[in-house]
Amino acid sequence: MAAALVRYERRDGADRAAMGVAAFNLCRAARHQGARSSRFFWTSADSIVILSEADSAHLFDDEPKPELAQALFALADLARQVSNERWIDPRDGESTYHTAGR
């Protein structure tokens, strides 16, 4: 299993409610693209995190479908991405390590 944790901060002048709707739409589009789950959380009045889980990290590497691309740009209009973490489970991490010839 793989997960992605992405942090966003609201742009000056952007509406908080619109940012929440954009984050919700991004989560819905990620699930439509194949994420097992995708949820967003407010971490302060001006920032959110989106946590998405998938069976494989390939979901986070593949080109987004139009619905997901639209949702990404809609959120980017309201908030700037400040960090992006990708997590993989130990089994997949070890497999990648061995694939690298280690």
- Report how far apart the first and last C-alpha atoms of the chain are (Å, whole number): 22
Phi and psi, residue 90, nearest 5°? -55, -40
Number of domains in the chain: 1
CATH number at residue 43: 3.30.70.100
Tokens 């619109």 correspond to: 18
Q: C-alpha distances in angstroms, 95 versus 2, 54, 89, 90, 98?
A: 13, 17, 10, 8, 5
User: Measured between alpha carbons, how far is 68 from 45 in angstroms, rounded to an integer?
Assistant: 25
Q: Determine the structural domain holding residue 87 and report its residue range.
A: 2-99
What's the pTM?
0.88
pLDDT by residue, tens only, the chain of 102 residues: 899 999 999 999 999 999 999 999 999 999 999 999 999 999 999 999 999 999 988 888 889 999 999 999 999 999 999 999 999 888 877 887 888 887
